[in-house]
Amino acid sequence: MKRKSYHHGDLKSALFKACHKLLKTTDPNEISLRAVADMAGVSHSAIYRHFKDKEELLEVMAAYGFDRLGSVQKKAFDKERNSEEGFLQLGLAYIKFATSNPNYYKIMFFTKRENPGLLLKRAQIRSYSVLVSSCRIFLKDKSKQKEPREYSLMCWSLVHGFSNLCIETGVPKSEAQALKKSLPDFALEILRSALL
């Protein structure tokens, strides 16, 4: 197989794209730096110019995942006319992101890191800030006397737990089918009854 030649900046981008492509179909535990290099069409040693090991690469991918999650949640909240519907859609956006990107979700939440890097920490904060600021607006509009950060954590626990059940067990999908509902409609009903 002919190896590709990249300028220094292009190589990191090519490796990122290769790993992104692998994460669409491959469990993070099964991804190797060798597989990423092969997908990018570069030598196996080339990857070490930018990433010291697989964990460092997956941490970059996790940061990207948090930025994507924050972006889809903000968009979901902002597109609705009122904060109540926006808040529900924000929660649904979380569930849709998790169930559509289970391998990203795994590296974001199921990978323990003793010393996460600054890139990942900042992405996590940006993502969580979307939820907290949306909570603040929603609670104010509904005249609810609750601490926004506390309420945010409760809401996050709800969508995170629902997402985990979808990914790990499939129970929400089977329950939705038994009730003759689509999974998004079923999730939205649960969010509405739990949060409003």
Q: Are residues 65 and 94 in the same domain?
A: yes
Local confidence band at 116 (pLDDT 50, 70, 90 cut-offs) = confident
Distance of CA 192 to the CA centre of its chain: 22
Q: Are residues 72 and 168 in the same domain?
A: yes
pLDDT at residue 50 in the model: 86
Selection from 168, 79, 166, 78 nearest residue 130 by Cα: 78
Q: Which residues of 58-92 are buried (b: 16+ CB within 10 A; e: fewer)?
A: bbbbbbbbbbbbbebbbebbeeeeebebbbbbbbb
Domain span including residue 154: 54-195
Q: How many structural domains are present in the chain? A: 2
**In this predicted model, what pLDDT tens digit does every residue of 44-96 receive, in sequence order?**
888 888 888 999 999 999 999 999 999 999 999 999 999 999 999 999 999 99
Q: How crowded is residue 41: how many other Cβ atoms within 10 Å of its Cβ?
A: 15
Residue 88 belongs to a domain with what CATH number? 1.10.357.10
Selection from 59, 53, 78 nearest residue 138 by Cα: 78
Q: Are residues 112 and 156 in the same domain?
A: yes
**In this predicted model, what pLDDT tens digit does every residue of 173-191 receive, in sequence order?**
999 999 999 999 999 999 9
pLDDT at residue 73 in the model: 97
Q: Are residues 1 and 93 in the same domain?
A: no
* Type and span of the H or E element at 194: helix 183-195
Q: Is the pLDDT of residue 8 over 50?
A: no
Contact between residue 61 and residue 69 where contact means Cβ atoms under 8 Å apart:
no
Q: Are residues 89 and 46 in the same domain?
A: no
Q: Are residues 63 and 146 in the same domain?
A: yes
- Separation of alpha carbons 190 and 113, rounded Å: 32
Q: How crowded is residue 27: how many other Cβ atoms within 10 Å of its Cβ?
A: 12
Q: Is the pLDDT of residue 133 over 90?
A: yes
Provide the mean pLDDT of the chain: 91
**In this predicted model, what pLDDT tens digit does every residue of 97-107 receive, in sequence order?**
999 999 999 99
**In this predicted model, what pLDDT tens digit does every residue of 147-161 receive, in sequence order?**
999 999 999 999 999
Q: Are residues 40 and 110 in the same domain?
A: no
Q: Are residues 88 and 179 in the same domain?
A: yes
* 3-class DSSP assignment, residue 42: coil
- Across the range 122-145, mean pLDDT stands at 95
- Across the range 3-14, mean pLDDT stands at 66
Selection from 173, 178, 196 nearest residue 187 by Cα: 173
Q: Are residues 71 and 139 in the same domain?
A: yes
Selection from 30, 95, 15 nearest residue 60 by Cα: 15
Selection from 129, 176, 116, 182 nearest residue 156 by Cα: 129
Q: Indicate the pTM of the whole model.
A: 0.90
